[in-house]
């Protein structure tokens, strides 16, 4: 009986090792395939792919200038132990930076906690926009002028079609759990490029208005 128990234990351990090896091999195959897809996308878009950048299990990084703005696509690990999760991140830089102290994001748990403890966010007067989004700024008047109807509509469209993003003076961030397909990443890059362009247009319009003579502003 003891011999049978011993043999059964050995078989179980052998099966466990085989399953573990298969999981590792499958993971490596998936990682190689994803890296190949990232490399192809980077080449097609005129960007650079660095397969060994980042943490050990990272897919790598895509960097470069896309539609006139610096971008970075990468994965990173967050959390620890069983709660560890891989996130896919797409960042597009604002060029030039807005210089308004902007922070704009979809309302979440942290923003709700902030409101509970007395934190306040800006209101544009557009209920469809103010409901789902939290806006904070150092230059409150400037940010309210920046967020015109066109820009608000574009932010809402990106949120519906691409997913939540975070906006500040320096960049637009898309960060979601799990490794995302390249079709999604490419759509986000195009969406962020359009958003960054519209932010720049709105910011330039503010500067032009500020420099215009008072009589011209009043007439307009």
Residue 216 to residues 63, 100, 206, 213, 219, Cα–Cα distance (Å)? 44, 25, 14, 5, 5
pLDDT surpassing 90 at residue 215: no
Mean pLDDT of 112-136: 77
Residue 131 to residues 57, 60, 160, Cα–Cα distance (Å)? 38, 37, 14
DSSP 178: B
Confidence of residue 16 (pLDDT cuts 50, 70, 90): low
Tokens standing for residue 113: 């906690």
| The model's pTM | 0.80
Q: Is 105:133 a contact under the CB 8 Å cutoff?
A: yes
% the chain with pLDDT above 90: 60
Tokens standing for residue 48: 């650079």
Residue 92 to residues 73, 101, 207, Cα–Cα distance (Å)? 9, 17, 23
Residue 193 to residues 43, 95, 164, 182, 190, Cα–Cα distance (Å)? 18, 11, 15, 16, 5
Point out which residues pair with 166 in neighbouring strands. 173
- Mean pLDDT over all residues of the chain? 83
CA torsion, points 157, 161, 165, 171, in degrees to nearest 10?
Answer: -70
Number of domains in the chain: 1
Task: List, for residues 139-165, the tens digit of each pLDDT value.
Answer: 999 999 999 999 999 999 999 999 999
Exposure string (b/e) for 92-115, b if CB count within 10 Å is 16 or more? bbbeeebebebbbbeeeeebeeee
Task: Return d(Cα 126, Cα 50) in angstroms, integer.
Answer: 43
pLDDT surpassing 70 at residue 104: yes
Q: Is 191 helix (H, G, I), strand (E, B) or coil?
A: helix
Q: Which DSSP string corresponds to 63-96?
A: EEEETTEEEEEEEEEES-GGG-EEEEEEEEE-SS
Point out which residues pair with 37 in neighbouring strands. none
The parent domain of residue 104 ranges over 2-219
């Amino acid at each position: 009986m003891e011999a049978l128990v011993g043999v059964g234990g050995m078989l179980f351990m052998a099966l466990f090792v085989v399953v573990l090896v298969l999981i590792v091999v499958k993971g490596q195959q998936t990682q190689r395939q994803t890296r190949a897809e990232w490399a192809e996308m980077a080449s097609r878009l005129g960007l650079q792919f660095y397969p060994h950048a980042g943490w050990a299990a990272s897919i790598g990084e895509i960097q470069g200038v896309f539609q006139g703005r610096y971008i970075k696509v990468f994965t990173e690990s967050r959390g620890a132990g069983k709660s560890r999760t891989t996130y896919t991140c797409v960042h597009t830089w604002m060029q030039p930076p807005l210089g308004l102290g902007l922070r704009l994001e979809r309302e979440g748990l942290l923003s709700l906690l902030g409101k509970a403890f007395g934190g306040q966010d800006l209101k544009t007067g557009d209920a469809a926009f103010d409901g789902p989004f939290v806006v904070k700024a150092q230059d409150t008047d400037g940010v309210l002028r920046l967020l015109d109807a066109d820009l608000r509509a574009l932010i809402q469209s990106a949120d519906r079609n691409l997913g939540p993003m975070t906006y500040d003076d320096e960049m637009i961030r898309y960060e979601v759990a799990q490794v995302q397909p390249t079709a999604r990443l490419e759509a986000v890059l195009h969406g962020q490029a359009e958003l960054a362009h519209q932010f720049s247009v709105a910011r330039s319009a503010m500067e032009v208005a500020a420099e215009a003579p008072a009589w011209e502003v009043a007439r307009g």
